[in-house]
Amino acid sequence: MSISSIILPGLTDRPTSVARILSTLKTTSLLINSSTVELTLLSKKAINYVQSRDEYLRWTGCHLIKIISVNPIVISNHGADFITSLMKLINIGTVSQLVYQTATNTILSLCLIIKGKQSLTREVLTPNLPGFINTLVKKLDLKDPQLLTNSVSILTILIRNHSTIFRPHATAYESKLMGVMKSKEFRSWEPVARKQIIESFVALSLVNKAASLQWSVVLKSVMEEFQSVFKMIFQTLLQPNEDAESDIINLIELLKLSLHDAESNMHNKSQFSLAPLSIDLNDLKTTGDLFDRIALLTDLIIGFITTPLNDTIVNYPIGKFVNIGELLINVSAQIHGFQKDLLIGDINLKHNLNFTFSKIQLQGIKLLNQLVKVLGKQSLGYFEKFTVFTELVIPMKTISVINPTTNKTVAKKILDVEQIKFHKFDMLVLLEFVGNLLKALDTGNLHDFSFILKLVDMTSLMVEEASYKDVIEKTKKPAADGSNKRTKKSKNSVELSDFIADASTLKIKTDVKLTTQVLQFYSTVLKNIPSLSVTQLTKVQHFVILSAMRKIYTAGNITNDIRQVLENFVVYQNTNEKYNLLPIIMNIMRQSGDDNNQLLSLLLNPRFPISNKREIEHYDKEQDEDLEIDECKIEEAKKPQIDLEELKRELREEVTNEVTEKLTREFEERESKRRKLSERLQTAEIETNPNVWTQQKFQKVEISKDVLPNDKEISSSEQRMVTETVVEVTTETKKTEDHDDENNSDFEIPDIEMDSSDEE
Amino acid sequence: MEEIVTYIGGGLADDKNGENSVGFSTSIHSNTFSYAYKFANAHLNGVVSTGFMNGDNDKVFVATKNKALIQVYVHGKEAPIQKIPIPEQLSCLALTHHNMKSIDQGSEHDDTKTELQLPWLLIGGSITGKLYVWEVCSGNLLFNKSVHYQKINKIEFSNNNNFLVTSSDDSRVLVFRVLELISNSPTIKPLHAITDHTLPVTDFLITSGINNDLRLVTASADSTCRVYDLNTSKLQMTLVSLFPVCSIASDPAFRTLYLGLDNGSIRQVNLFEIDSTKKLRFIGEKSRIVTLEDDPELKWSFMAHQQQENSSNTLKITSLDVSFDGTLLVSGDSDGKVLVCDIVTKQSLKSLKPVNGMVTYLKISPTLSKNFNESENILGTKKANNYRKVPQLKRTLADSNDFNNHELSMQIPENDYHYNILNNNHKMDYDFDEYLAQVAAQESNFKASPMNAGKDESPQLQEKLDKVNEAYSELKKIHEELFEEHTKLVNQ
């Protein structure tokens, strides 16, 4: 099988199935095993397609090049031709958007493949890349967001991989990006597209030789923009009280990033600036501009927080980022109150500003959330601040209640149910932030978690099922005189009684995204707060079990999020849990078809860690022997009971005494014989040589306890013990003068046989 | 995969400048000698290593003995790359990382950078009992307080970085909440103070697992080892040894404890035993005090250090660690010898190059590199010569002003999102099916578009075109004939 037999026949004047051809090339070994001639044929075919006037063939050619250029022979032999033909293609004015996009993507693929290959880079990439970048920058079109984001993502990759080649085009590209970000349409783009553009703008710092300095300089200019917006808000819209005012002013002043001299010089060259913000309070539409400006600046700061800059080490001003978050969260009329000369009786403006401010507050949470995500535990130094911020964002209202003990009216803060339900989707970012904070914190590290309790209460309100029936009843205004008179039926309105009669048709379904996020939050809370109070725990349990049962009822199974929370109920058991949920959870698992849940099975059938295999085998053998012994013991047990230990001890004492007596007896016998012998020898020697005499001294070594065998040995074999018990007897011989060498040796006790023979 | 043991000695008494003190990192499986660290001597546990998994970013921090100095080494360079002055002489060190994967729920790509290249916190315990907590990326001193009455012997973080445990010569063990230590609060008290030991606590270990299952095992010169629930500090079991316990290590699955004893032997203690029903049973289940009996048959003892030539009379096992698979035990003694023993046979397999003075630090780290002495790191990139330096560690406690101007010197980490964005055009490499589906959709769009449809499916248009062509050729023919006639006339 070869390219000429499988692929080339399909590449006709108008190939019918490009996807199939590409799949065959990629998933089989055709590209690896083919000859150079075949690869050349295929490459030429691809180039011909690209050079064709037919858009379909051009598109086919681009994809073919993308796939076959993975082969090193193809890229080294035809890489230059590929790039040249593709460059020609993207420079044709009439080329369609799809072909342009495919061709640019293919060029980028070639660039990434060639990167690191020195000669190819020199011959192919260096001459063509500037032209490619130039074309991409020139063709950035604000009117077509899709094309724009595709080009921006390619340019971002080129900035990261070929920053030196990109340098001459940086200014043009930066001004284009600034233009895009300043445009009014930008806010209406998809978040992903906006993120790509902002990240590309941040990554542009890499083009500079001193990337870290450039990064700080651009960040400083963005912070200055933030400073001016905050000044405007706290001078014209909000009126902090005397204590808070100095703190706020201080916080705004702190946003100024102190730069070193070199950075200051650069700062004069490169600046990010936006047009002055003008808000006309008589025109409610302009309050939206305030939010748009803050959202853009927040996105830019998030870009600086999250965009990686290859290996560049930056001075990451975490303190300033937290300050921005703090200021954003402080943009609230409930915390600081409106300016006195503002909103004189204009309820619409008040509502409008309150709505905008609550959105701005959540921008602060969004920023801090990204900070926690990037820094993880490193951000925990600000944990106390973060908890305060969270409490500030949770919608609360003050009500007056009568204290039963003092009978005085006192102010009490409770959750603002209306606001929570109104902003429930915006509040999800708060849940995500707290969830990430708890994850960074990890289990059991928290002892003051009152803000978590409020959040649990808030989430239970967010996921509370609502019905249009309540809304209708709520909006029904009672008659002015309080009587329940029937109003005249309007001919144009539809009677709602049918709907009210069948309440199920009026239910407002809880959004899936909302439920999922809340479940994930509960899962994190259960894992990290082992002593959640009973009220909140019950709320969580209630919601999770109901969600699980509904899911089983509708879909027959449960989602992974529900499963995770259920598992966390069991694994991270709460100290305040009154009733164990295990039976309910097991039933839910069974009904959802997950009754063989590994985690729960291990929990219900606990087992200890498996020992080393060799040890188990060793134990098994020992165990078998032990079992045999055990069987013997059982038989013995039927006989009259004897205390084995007592028996052993007696036996040992008996044996020891016997041995000692025996040995002592033997020793005494030997000594008496020795005396006799020495007397005989002495008399004989005196007779022959009266000057020579020998003195022998015998020393007895007592039987030490160490020499005695242990209990087991005694009980197993008495004979063995006796043979092991040795009496060491050493002799010291003192000699007088004129003794020969033989007399140097220690005297050995003559054998008993010898003695007997002597006697004989 | 390779396993590397890093070990450093305490230096000789007369070598105050550490000129003859060399630490080593070497493989426990092969014989390749690898890295050396010159002028490295420290008190017991006065060294921390970030391991061998992060390429150029891995470092070894040594709290130099007899000097108020931390020396920073990188693998491959013998001399320290940095000498950081500190307020006083430290006896032990500990490091912790960010564990950012807990937030990202793990990366789906192997080559994404989720760490900040530098550790999070560096903790030092002084010989006077003071505890120092530094944030490594900024050098800020976050905590500085006397917590023990005598020299701190060991500091360690729990696996989830929630707790910090310290042990000291004052025979106490303290457990702190990490969050409190970094909170800049003036009144910080330990979560638990364990005072059961009667003599210095020489070593301890913390088991891994979820927060509720964490256990603390302490070893002391009073010949006992105690097992505590880390969350409640409740004593679960006491092991009574025949000799003072100098060091402790456990099997990675916490099935076995290895006690380095004062007499130069290592005692193996199986925490689970097989009962008559052939089931494993925790030894501390019935009686909370387990007395280790003498082991004359050497069934549970490693005697390799005692059997070494020229071993001193006062031989102690000062450091222990268990290999990745739990089959090898690496031990260092007071003579500076380091041995690799097989756990099953209890025999010494290998003797590593000794260090001067007693072995004060010994740690096994895994690495993916086949030959870690090569010029390439595990990611396949060539080693850079510009090493990432650690910011200077501050001597004064950070205040609110420091927090407002708080800057971290760091590389911004890459996550999955950036990986996908950066490799958008290489989508076919990691999700070829998706790429193919995209191609198929584009292809069908092409076929459905009127421009292309005309060529294949519209015979009427084709007929019309043919007619036009025919008419054109006819007209051309007439024109040529007329032109010829005109030429003839002109010529006449």
In a domain? residue B429: no
Residues of B with Cβ-Cβ distance to A14 under 8 angstroms: 455
What mean pLDDT comes out for the span B227-250? 92
Please name the residue that has the structure tokens 């993207």.
A90
B13 and B78 in a single domain? The answer is yes
Contact of B430 with chain A, judged by CB distance below 8 Å, is answered with no
A377 → chain B, closest CA residue = B98
Residue of A445, A577, A610, A620 to mutate when probing chain B, most B C-beta within 10 A:
A445
How many angstroms separate the CA of residue B9 from the nearest CA in chain A? 32
Contact of B370 with chain A, judged by CB distance below 8 Å, is answered with no
C-alpha to C-alpha distance for B330 and A578, rounded to whole angstroms:
48
Residues of B with Cβ-Cβ distance to A66 under 8 angstroms: 428
Residue A500 or A113, more confident? A113
How many angstroms separate the CA of residue B179 from the nearest CA in chain A? 7
pLDDT of B463:
81
Residue of A106, A254, A374, A624 to mutate when probing chain B, most B C-beta within 10 A:
A374
B177 and B259 in a single domain? The answer is yes
What mean pLDDT comes out for the span A720-746? 41
pLDDT of B468:
92
Q: Do A315 and B408 touch (CB under 8 A)?
A: yes
Contact of B483 with chain A, judged by CB distance below 8 Å, is answered with no
CA distances to A181, A324, B391 from A276, in Å: 15, 19, 40
Q: Do B104 and A373 touch (CB under 8 A)?
A: yes
Which tens digit of pLDDT belongs to each residue from B434-449? 888 888 888 888 777 6
Q: Do A157 and B411 touch (CB under 8 A)?
A: no
pLDDT of A495:
56
C-alpha to C-alpha distance for A743 and A628, rounded to whole angstroms:
59
Q: Is residue A727 over pLDDT 50?
A: no
Contact of B405 with chain A, judged by CB distance below 8 Å, is answered with yes
B162 and B264 in a single domain? The answer is yes
8 A C-beta contact, residue A165 and residue A128: no
B296 and B351 in a single domain? The answer is yes
How many angstroms separate the CA of residue A381 from the nearest CA in chain B? 6
Selecting from A314, A572, A573 the residue whose C-beta is nearest the C-beta of B410 gives: A314
Q: Is residue B260 over pLDDT 90?
A: yes
How many angstroms separate the CA of residue B436 from the nearest CA in chain A? 6
B80 and B208 in a single domain? The answer is yes
Residue B458 or A546, more confident? A546
Q: Is residue B380 over pLDDT 60?
A: no
B398 → chain A, closest CA residue = A381
pLDDT of A622:
54
Which tens digit of pLDDT belongs to each residue from A566-613? 999 988 888 888 788 888 999 899 888 877 788 888 888 877 766 555
A529 → chain B, closest CA residue = B211
How many angstroms separate the CA of residue B38 from the nearest CA in chain A? 28
Residue B8 or A604, more confident? B8
pLDDT of A454:
92
B122 and B206 in a single domain? The answer is yes
Domain boundary among B346, B381, B407: B407
How many angstroms separate the CA of residue A307 from the nearest CA in chain B? 7
8 A C-beta contact, residue A425 and residue A514: yes
Q: Do A378 and B413 touch (CB under 8 A)?
A: no
Residue A567 or A715, more confident? A567
Q: Do A319 and B162 touch (CB under 8 A)?
A: no
Which tens digit of pLDDT belongs to each residue from A665-688? 776 777 677 677 666 655 554 444
How many angstroms separate the CA of residue A44 from the nearest CA in chain B? 21
Instruction: Supply the CATH number for residue B380's domain.
Output: 2.130.10.10
Which tens digit of pLDDT belongs to each residue from A465-496? 766 556 656 555 554 454 555 555 555 555 55
What mean pLDDT comes out for the span B121-130? 94
Residue of A54, A247, A316, A438 to mutate when probing chain B, most B C-beta within 10 A:
A316
Q: Is residue A653 over pLDDT 50?
A: yes
Which tens digit of pLDDT belongs to each residue from A420-465? 888 888 889 999 999 999 988 876 667 778 889 999 999 998 888 7
Residue B316 or A652, more confident? B316
Q: Give residue B35's identity as a one-letter amino acid code.
A: Y
Q: Is residue A30 over pLDDT 60?
A: yes
Selecting from B120, B439, B442 the residue whose C-beta is nearest the C-beta of A378 gives: B120
Which tens digit of pLDDT belongs to each residue from A241-284? 877 888 888 888 888 776 665 555 665 555 677 777 777 777 77
Q: Is residue A223 over pLDDT 80?
A: yes
B460 and B397 in a single domain? The answer is no
Q: Do B405 and A319 touch (CB under 8 A)?
A: yes
Q: Do A619 and B102 touch (CB under 8 A)?
A: no
Residue A674 or A693, more confident? A674
Residue of A250, A611, A616 to mutate when probing chain B, most B C-beta within 10 A:
A611
Count other C-beta atoms under 10 Å from residue A270's C-beta.
Answer: 16
Which tens digit of pLDDT belongs to each residue from B11-41? 887 877 778 888 999 888 887 767 889 988 8
In a domain? residue B21: yes
Contact of B441 with chain A, judged by CB distance below 8 Å, is answered with no
Domain boundary among B407, B434, B459: B407
Q: Give residue A308's identity as a one-letter amino acid code.
A: P
Domain boundary among B407, B426, B442: B407
pLDDT of B30:
81
Selecting from B179, B280, B413 the residue whose C-beta is nearest the C-beta of A611 gives: B280
Q: Which positions ≥6 away from A625 have C-beta within 8 Å?
A: none
How many angstroms separate the CA of residue A424 from the nearest CA in chain B? 24
Q: Which positions ≥6 away from B241 have C-beta within 8 Å?
A: B223, B224, B225, B259, B261, B267, B292
A60 → chain B, closest CA residue = B443
Domain count, chain B: 2
Token pair in block for residue B38 = 């010159």
8 A C-beta contact, residue A227 and residue A255: yes
Confidence label for B153 from pLDDT (cuts 50, 70 and 90): very high
DSSP string, A602-665: HHHS--PPPPPHHHHHHHHHHHHHHHHHHHHHHHHHHSPP--HHHHHHHHHHHHHHHHHHHHHH
pLDDT of A713:
40
In a domain? residue B423: no
C-alpha to C-alpha distance for B17 and B21, rounded to whole angstroms:
9
B136 → chain A, closest CA residue = A378
Token pair in block for residue B62 = 């040594």
Contact of B422 with chain A, judged by CB distance below 8 Å, is answered with yes
pLDDT of B438:
85
pLDDT of B100:
53
A573 → chain B, closest CA residue = B212
DSSP string, A161-218: H-HHHHGGGHHHHHHHHHHHHHSGGGGGS-HHHHHHHHHHHHHGGGGSSSHHHHHHHH
In a domain? residue B184: yes
8 A C-beta contact, residue B412 and residue A306: yes
pTM of the model: 0.79
Average pLDDT, chain B: 83
Residue A230 or B418, more confident? A230
Residues of B with Cβ-Cβ distance to A160 under 8 angstroms: 422
DSSP string, B161-195: SSEEEEEETTS-EEEEEHHHHTTT-S----SEEE-
Q: Do B404 and A323 touch (CB under 8 A)?
A: yes
B211 → chain A, closest CA residue = A443
A439 → chain B, closest CA residue = B103
A19 → chain B, closest CA residue = B440
Confidence label for B277 from pLDDT (cuts 50, 70 and 90): confident
pLDDT of A649:
63
Q: Is residue A697 over pLDDT 50?
A: no
Selecting from B210, B406, B424 the residue whose C-beta is nearest the C-beta of A153 gives: B424
B360 and B460 in a single domain? The answer is no
Residue A538 or A626, more confident? A538
Contact of B282 with chain A, judged by CB distance below 8 Å, is answered with yes
B357 and B469 in a single domain? The answer is no
What mean pLDDT comes out for the span A686-691? 43
Contact of B379 with chain A, judged by CB distance below 8 Å, is answered with no
Of the candidates B366, B226, B357, B353, the one whose C-alpha atom is nearest the C-alpha of residue B284 is B226
B358 and B458 in a single domain? The answer is no
Selecting from A26, A102, A378 the residue whose C-beta is nearest the C-beta of B428 gives: A26
Q: Do A608 and B280 touch (CB under 8 A)?
A: yes
Contact of B436 with chain A, judged by CB distance below 8 Å, is answered with yes
pLDDT of A743:
46
In a domain? residue B432: no
Identify any residues that bridge with B62 across adjacent strands, giving them in sequence order.
B47, B71
B153 and B272 in a single domain? The answer is yes
Supply φ then ψ for residue B327, to 5 degrees.
-110, -15
Residue B316: domain span: 2-407
Under DSSP, the state recorded for A233 is: I
In a domain? residue B412: no
Confidence label for A706 from pLDDT (cuts 50, 70 and 90): very low
Confidence label for A652 from pLDDT (cuts 50, 70 and 90): low
Residues of B with Cβ-Cβ distance to A102 under 8 angstroms: 442
pLDDT of A47:
93
B213 and B346 in a single domain? The answer is yes
Token pair in block for residue B292 = 């280790």
How many angstroms separate the CA of residue B338 from the nearest CA in chain A? 25
Which tens digit of pLDDT belongs to each residue from B55-94? 667 889 999 988 899 999 988 888 999 999 999 999 999 9
Q: Which of residues 149-208 of B touch A (CB under 8 A)?
A: 160-162, 177-179, 182-184
Selecting from B212, B253, B455 the residue whose C-beta is nearest the C-beta of A609 gives: B253
Q: Which long-range contacts (CB under 8 A, 24 or more apart) does B242-246 make?
A: B242/B292, B242/B294, B244/B199, B244/B202, B244/B220, B245/B202, B245/B203, B245/B219, B245/B220, B245/B221, B246/B202, B246/B203, B246/B219, B246/B221, B246/B316, B246/B317, B246/B318
Least confident of A476-480, B124-128, B196-200, B481-485: A476-480
Selecting from A67, A157, A312 the residue whose C-beta is nearest the C-beta of B411 gives: A312
In a domain? residue B424: no
Q: Angle of helix A318-330 relative to helix A211-232, nearest 10 degrees?
A: 20
B123-142 burial, b at 16+ Cβ within 10 Å, e below that, comes to bbbbbebbbbbbbbbbbbbb
Confidence label for A312 from pLDDT (cuts 50, 70 and 90): confident
Selecting from A308, A377, A445 the residue whose C-beta is nearest the C-beta of B413 gives: A308
Confidence label for B412 from pLDDT (cuts 50, 70 and 90): confident
Token pair in block for residue A723 = 């043979």
In a domain? residue B445: no
Token pair in block for residue A401 = 């209640």
Report the percentage of chain A scoring pLDDT > 90.
Answer: 24
Residue A558 or A710, more confident? A558
A to B CB pairs, distance under 8 Å: 201
